[in-house]
Amino acid sequence: MALRLERRAQHSQLMVTLSPVIAILLTLLSGIVIFALLGKDPFLSLYTFFVLPLTSLYGLTELGVKATPLILIGIGLSFGFRANVWNIGAEGQLTLGAIFGGGLGIAFYDSDSALLLPAMILAGVLGGMAWAAIPAWLKTRFNANEILTSLMLTYVAVLLLSYLVHGPWRDPDGYNFPESRMFSEAGTLPLLLEASRLHLGAVIALLVVVAAWVLLTKALIGFQLRVVGLAPAAARYVGFRQKRLIWFCLLFSGGLAGLAGLSEVAGPIGQLTPSISPGYGFTAIIVAFLGRLHPVGVLFAGLVMALTYIGGEAAQIEIGLPAAVTGLFQGVLLFFLLACDMLSTYRIRFVRQPAAGPVASVKPAAGEAAAQ
Amino acid sequence: MSGLDWLIPVVLTVITASTPLLLAATGELVTERAGVLNLGVEGMMLVGAIAAFAVASATGSGLLGILAALLAGAAMALVFAVLTISMMANQVASGLALTIFGVGLSALVGASFVGIALDPLPQLSIPGLSAIPVLGPILFGQDLLVYLSFAILAAVAWFLARTRPGLVLKAVGESHDSAHALGYRVIAIRYGATLFGGAMAGLGGAYLSLSYTPMWAENMTAGRGWIALALVVFATWRPGRLLLGAYMFGAITILQLHAQGAGVEIPSQFMSMLPYLATILVLVLISRDSTKIRLNAPACLGKVFRPAR
Amino acid sequence: MNLRDSLKRAAGLALAGGLVLAAAGAMADDDIKVGFVYVGPIGDHGWTYRHDIGRLAIEEALGDKVETTFVESVKEGADAERVIQQLAASGHDLIFTTSFGFMNATAKVAKRNPKVMFEHATGYKRSNNLSTYMARFYEGRYVSGVIAGKLTESNIVGYVGSFPIPEVVRGINAFMLGAHSVNPDVKIKVVWVNSWYDPGKEGDAAKALIDQGADMIAQHTDSPAPLQVAENRGVMGFGQASDMIQFAPKAQLTAVIDDWNGYYVARAKAVMDGNWESGDTWGGMDSGMVAMAPFTNMPDDVAKLAAEVTEAISNGTLHPFQGPIKDQSGKVVVAEGETVSDEDLLRMDWYVMGVEGKVPK
């Protein structure tokens, strides 16, 4: 008798629904072990990690604040990943979005025009697109691999921001410290809820989710993406123009990353500073896959991912778990979530080996026999 | 020879800056050649660095530290392999998760090693030869891991180009279905390549914590794992170009520091951009001939292998 | 047991845990909770590490009357405000935020939580419940400069810089002025690594500087790597933030030590006693916030001189930035008998004579 993975004839709807639940149960189990080993109350730890942040209105709004950039970027990346366009540099595109949009906010720091915010949003999107256009151009024109170019451009973007806020864009009243002026009221995303930081960006993110879903299911480009992802050969046969798809994917994901960058600086941060993102561009890659490259999936994955960060902070505050442990636990959680994806496509079965097989000589354990 | 005297220390510095990149990238190159894209290099390097440091400072033996780093890196890669090869989880996301995990794990283990000093790995100077002007100190005055980085790269180049198992490994990366149909053990080969990649990343980490800057501090890799990943792409999956890439990146990093010291008045942020920009530029030059590149990117890179039966 | 039951169970446990905490808190009214927000990991052996030592000093000094919490590796940006707010909301009476980049977030949270006291390191925004504090590390760097000026043979000092912010520029200038006070021929070469913390790159920068003739290495980055390089290359160097002698037993001349312990304990005690007041503390050697590691690896006369200079700064007879001070062009910008005001020190963005290169702007 042996374990074997068998491919299901079709995706099991039950397992699609159930696999995250199984993953979560396994994570809880491993969490109990990890926390107990570290001498912490496992149930209290898990509660602090996953439930406590959701028990207050502030916690819920913060979940939205944290998830907004992850969802925006994750949606963009998921399109590219469907078509095997590997934009690893969303962090850089986010930074350029912040520079473009934020630059406008700094230039018109005393403006109260209602046009300022829309202009900043537009500039943010364009900034992200412009930065993503470089890998797109290098890929389509010179065949240069976008994994490398987009990643390297991330470092360049962060250094560019550093130069601007240490130099020309410094706040003139800020004692030469490295940060820009604060944006005016008109250059800041309005809050959705008093006494919270939940801003208009969260609504935009939801609209983007809907729009992406429509685009993916109803538009020709969505059809192309799905075909390319599932059957690249067929796509070539039908004659999809590969270069156009590359341009679309990079500009789309770059634009959304730029929007995320702008919504961070014009939202919770309110100015340009040397560090505007704790790595959202990279985390969003996980979000995209955790959400199975589907817009609604990305929405939920973004929320889950945001929860693990906020829960990690809560665990440090409430029960003194070191950041190292929260990182470790986050890693384990992701392992299970990613691994359990398999259960929807495959099933584990106990199968009888042919009598001559080497495994047959091993006597089945009692448990296995019972499982039959 | 005095005219070249200034060059020796510069070259020595370039070597030390390039070695961790080269070690980690060599491993990742083999992993990717087998069709597996492991983005967890940074995490594996960190775990390797702390394993090496912990064992070396406990036992006093750099060699045992190196061994520990190899094993620790491979163990991290094993987690990744089980997830992505056996359980068919997505490679890109799993690799990123592995990095998050590795950062946490290394920090947790390393907490009690902060602030402890360690003697650097000894330089293996060869009496007589090291005294040769200019070339002597460069060629014969390095530590063990520098020589290993070259030896392993040469071995990998030879393995991939000239040996049958090497061809099989490449075949698995090009078309796992065909390789499987021909009776090759796709899964086992990918496990092997992934573990090798992890061990090498661990070795790169060991170089950091034992030789480059002999100490442990959280996140001490400071992004070198990502550079190693990029270098594999830069090299278009060829060992020779990997050497070029790692040393070019290391050299420009060092030279921009020298330029600053010499008083070049360009904002330092722009100077710091140079290695990244140069890497892009050279990749573009290498890649312009599209027919050559396609032959090198493993066709099955990052794709899940699902045996039909 | 279904999911809902297990959640209930966890909630019950948490409630019980909370009650226990609450009961413990109810034992004495003057018990306080102190929170810390760190920008790096406590294992960085640099900036954050020193602040955490200060946190442990509070626990040591005030015992079970105080409970401390820290959140490490909090990124400057949107995350900081949430972490600070959560600390304020979870019953902390006093919160230290230990990076300049937390300034606006701290100010916002302080406004929203008027009953909680806040202490922000290195910033300039203050309010009724928000103090600022920082240390005059430049005083220690002046002493380092004196030592370097005495001992250098090449007359070139290599300075590994992080970012060109006033704090770092001020340190470079103080070092230069100290060196010039004993040796008018010294020059400083600065290399910026654009990172607070990248051991490899910091070490590489030190190597580049040594290769360009520096025989003294000073640093304004966090790791011991530049000092290790000095040790390895047979030149001398200065530790940063902590006494780093174990990393360079033959090369470390001294180190400028960040010592937050006294300030942290005093501020926590003030909250406990109910007499905490908002203020701006810029503590120097006299306050103990800046301390020098033992003067090692140098002749006795240099050690004696360094000790005298330290004493003179401590008792106020010597100000590192007292005139005459010349700028890079040789023009006297601070006349004899004058000193640079704190305001001008805070925003310093120009080099004194002897520093090579320009302040990046």
pLDDT tens digits along C222-246: 899 999 999 999 999 999 999 999 9
d(CA A49, CA A307): 8
> Do C155 and C243 fall within a single domain?
yes
Report the alpha-carbon distance of residue A206 to residue C264 in Å, rounded.
Answer: 45
Encode burial over A95-114: b for 16+ CB neighbours within 10 A, e otherwise.
bbbbbbbbbbbbebbebeee
Closest of C156, C187, C154, C173 to residue C220, by C-alpha? C173
pLDDT tier at A364 (50, 70, 90 boundaries)?
Answer: very low
Paired with C252 in beta bridges are: C237
Quick one: tokens of C291?
């301390």
User: Residue C359's pLDDT is what?
Assistant: 86
CB of C158 within 8 A of CB of C217? yes
Domain ranges of chain A: 1-40+321-364, 62-318
In this predicted structure, the answer to whether residue C274 has a pLDDT above a threshold of 60 is yes
> CA angle C18-A311-B102, nearest 5°?
125
Judge whether C276 and C32 are in contact, CB under 8 Å: no
Summarize pLDDT for B181-208 with one digit per residue, the tens.
888 999 999 999 999 999 999 999 999 9
pLDDT over 90 at C252, yes or no: yes
| pLDDT at position C109 over 90 | yes
Q: Is C85 on the interface with B (CB under 8 A)?
A: no
**Domain boundary, last residue among C135, C162, C184:** C135
Q: Which among C42, C79, C348 is the nearest to A278, CB-wise? A: C79
> C110: domain range?
29-135
Of C34 and A49, the one with more pLDDT: C34
Q: Is C47 on the interface with B (CB under 8 A)?
A: no
Query: Is the CB of A286 less than 8 angstroms away from the CB of B97?
Result: yes
Name the least confident of A191-205, A242-256, C14-28, C334-348.
C14-28
**C147 shares a domain with C212:** yes
Q: Look-up: residue for tokens 């890109």?
A: B92
DSSP class of residue A191? B
* C228: in domain: yes
In a domain, C355, yes or no: no
Among residues A201, A202, A220, A222, the alpha carbon closest in space to that of A212 is found at A222
- Cα(A258)–Cα(A36) distance, integer angstroms: 42
Residue C273, judged by CB atoms within 10 A of its CB (0-12, 13-18, 19+), counts as exposed
Interchain contact, A317 vs C75, CB within 8 Å:
no
CA distance C273 to chain B (A): 34
DSSP A29-72: HHHHHHHHHTTS-HHHHHHHHHTGGGSSHHHHHHHHHHHHHHHH
Integer Cα distance of A317 and C37 in angstroms: 10
Which chains touch A (3+ CB pairs under 8 A)? B, C
Q: Exposed, middle or buried, C119 (CB in 10 Å: 0-12/13-18/19+)?
A: buried
Which chains lie within 8 Å of chain B at 3 or more CB pairs, if any? A, C
A19 or A327: which leads in pLDDT? A327
Task: Show the tokens assigned to A280.
Answer: 């959202």
Tell me which amino acid residue B136 is. G
User: Which tops the pLDDT comparison, A229 or A5?
Assistant: A229
Asked if residue C144 and residue C117 are part of one domain, the reply reads no
Chain C nearest-CA residue for B110: C43
Q: Please name which of A333, A337, A341 lies closest in space to residue A28, comparing C-alpha atoms.
A: A333
Location of structure tokens 């999107």: A125
pLDDT band at A146 (very low <50, low <70, confident <90, very high): very high
Provide the whole-model pTM.
Answer: 0.91
Segment among A213-217, A337-341, B147-151, C230-234 with least mean pLDDT: A337-341
| Same domain membership, residue C143 and residue C117 | no
ipTM of the complex: 0.92
Q: Which residue of B has its CA nearest to C249?
A: B117
Residue C278 lies in a domain: no
Q: Give me the architecture of the A62-318 domain, per CATH.
A: Orthogonal Bundle (1.10)
| pLDDT for the residue C209 | 95
The total of structural domains in chain C comes to 2
If asked whether residues C170 and C39 sit together in one domain, one would say no
Q: Which residue has the tokens 């992080």?
A: C162
pLDDT in tens, C148-201: 999 999 999 999 999 999 999 999 999 999 999 999 999 999 999 998 889 999
Q: Which residues does residue C67 pair with via DSSP β-bridges, in sequence order?
A: C33
- C204 within domain boundaries: yes
C contacts of A270 (beta carbons < 8 Å): 104
What per-residue string of b and e applies to A15-34 under the rule 16 or more CB within 10 Å gives b? beeebbeebbebbbeebeeb
Does any CB of chain B come closer than 8 Å to the CB of residue A305? no
- CB contact under 8 Å between B92 and A7, yes or no, is no
Cα separation of A141 and C297, whole Å?
60
Q: Calculate mean pLDDT across residues A346-359.
A: 46
Element (H, E) at C38: none
pLDDT band at A131 (very low <50, low <70, confident <90, very high): very high
Q: Among C115, C135, C155, give the residue marking a domain's end.
A: C135
Q: Is C83 on the interface with A (CB under 8 A)?
A: yes
Residue C274 falls inside a structural domain: no
- Banded pLDDT at A356 (limits 50, 70, 90): very low
* Assigned token pair, A193: 């809820």
C35 phi, psi to nearest 5 deg: -110, 150
Q: Are residues C185 and C320 in the same domain?
A: yes
> Which of C71, C75, C92 to mutate to probe the A interface, most A CBs <10 Å?
C71
| pLDDT of C16 | 40
- State the CATH number of the domain containing residue C122: 3.40.50.2300
Does C324 sit behind a cis peptide bond, omega within 30 degrees of 0 on the bond before it? Answer: yes
Asked if residue C322 and residue C217 are part of one domain, the reply reads: yes
Of A145, A331, A339, the CB nearest to B100: A331
The angle subtended at Cα C148 by Cα C283 and Cα C142, nearest 5°, is 20
